[in-house]
Amino acid sequence: MVNQLILTVTRACNLRCSYCPTAKDGWPSLSESDARRAVSMFSDDFGGGSIKMFGGEPLLVPDVVKAALDEAKDRENIRWVYLSTNGLGLDSSWLEFLSSYPKAILTISMDGRPEDHRGQRRAVNDGVPDSYEHLMTLLPQLLQTPRVVITQTIAPATAVRAAENFAHLLSLGFWRFNFLPGYYIPWRSNQLDNLDVAFNDIARLIEQRWEQLDRTYIRNLFTLAPTPFFNTGLVVDSDRTIHPSNVGLSGALDHTRDQTIIGTLDDPPSMETLQAGAARVSGLIETALPAKVWESTQAVDQKLSAFCRSLYPHWARYKRRRDAA
C-alpha cells in the first residue's frame, strides 16, 4: 500500500548543517508543472494519502511549493501536505497562507539553544541570515499557526546537551515535536551513550508535562519507517525521476541511486513496480553503506525506538485523562 508522495522539490539549500546527508550540488529543481503532475498522478493513479515536501530547502522554490499545495487543495484523497523547512524562507505572508490552508503541516527543523543551533547550521554564504534570529522574529505568529511541528535535530556533538536543547524549545512555547538524531553519519560510542542519557532525560520532561496535562505531541510515536530516516512511498526526486524511497538523497548512497529508479514523471511506474522496488531498499542500503555508518544508523534508530516505546504507556494515560477532563 502506497500512501505517501515524497516530493524533493529541490536539493538546493542555503545552509550546510553538520549532520545533513543530502547531496545538494549540481541538481535541477522541479518545475511548477512537475509538482502539479506529481500530485495529480499520486491522487489519480495511486489512491492518494499524504504529501511530504522536502529538500534541500523547499522554500528556495516557493512557486513550486505553492503549485503542489494548490493542486492538492481540493483533492479529497489528499489528507495532509507536510512542508519541511529550515525556516529561512518563511515570512508573515507564508504563515498567513499556511494558516488558511486546511491540510498544511509545517515542520521546522531546529537544534535547540541558539549556540547549538548556530554551531550546527552553517550558512552557505554571508548573505544568508541567521536562521535562529529569523525564526525568533516570527515566533509570535509561529505559535499562532496551526500544526507547527519542530523537528529537533540531534547531532553526535550536541547529543550531550539534547535534553537542555529540548527544554529550550519548550520554553519558546512550541509543543509539537519530532526528534531526529543524525542518521547516515558515524557516531562514536561516547556520543551514543550521550544520546541514551539525553533521550532518557527528554522522556522524563515529556512525562512530567503529560502528568500535568500540558499538551505535548511527539510525532515519532505515530510514525513507522521501514528504513531509518528515509521515507518510502512514491518518491519524486528533483530531477523528475521516481523512486520507491528517498534514500538516493544521501550523498553516501549516491552510487546506488540508479538502482532505485523505477520511472520518471513522463513514464511513471505501476503500483506493482513501486511495491517491488520498496521491498529491495533496505537490503540495498545495508550493502552500500560503510559498516561504521550503517552500525551508527542502526544504533541511533534503536535508541529512538526505545525512547518511543518508553513513552507509549505515558501517552496512553495522558490521553485517557485528557479525554476525560
* Site for ligand SF4, rule CB under 6 A: 13, 15-17, 20, 22, 55-57, 86, 109
Smallest CA-to-CA distance from 173 within 201, 199, 209 is with 209
Shortest Å distance, C-beta 17 to ligand SF4? 3
By beta-carbon proximity to ligand SF4, the closer residue of 13 and 64 is 13
Q: Within 13 A of 71's CA, how many CA atoms are on the CB side? A: 22
Residue whose CB is less far from ligand SF4, 20 or 67: 20
Q: How far is the CB of 324 from ligand SF4 (least distance, A)?
A: 40
Nearest-approach distance from CB 42 to ligand SF4, in angstroms: 23
By beta-carbon proximity to ligand SF4, the closer residue of 3 and 114 is 114
CB of 118 to ligand SF4, least distance (A): 13
Q: What are phi and psi of 13, to 5 degrees?
A: -150, 145
Tell the smallest beta-carbon distance from residue 176 to ligand SF4 (Å): 19
Q: How far is the CB of 269 from ligand SF4 (least distance, A)?
A: 26
Round to whole Å and give the CA distance between 7 and 304.
25
Nearer to ligand SF4, 57 or 71 (CB): 57
Nearer to ligand SF4, 34 or 57 (CB): 57
> Is 170 or 185 the residue whose CB approaches ligand SF4 more closely?
185
Which parts of the chain fold into alpha helices (H)? 32-45, 62-73, 92-100, 114-120, 131-144, 162-171, 189-211, 257-260, 271-288, 291-324
DSSP H or E segment with residue 53: strand 49-54
Q: Which of 136, 158, 202 is nearest to 19 (CA)?
A: 158
DSSP labels, 187-218? --HHHHHHHHHHHHHHHHHHHHHHHTT---EE
Please name the residue that has the C-alpha cell 547549538. Answer: 116
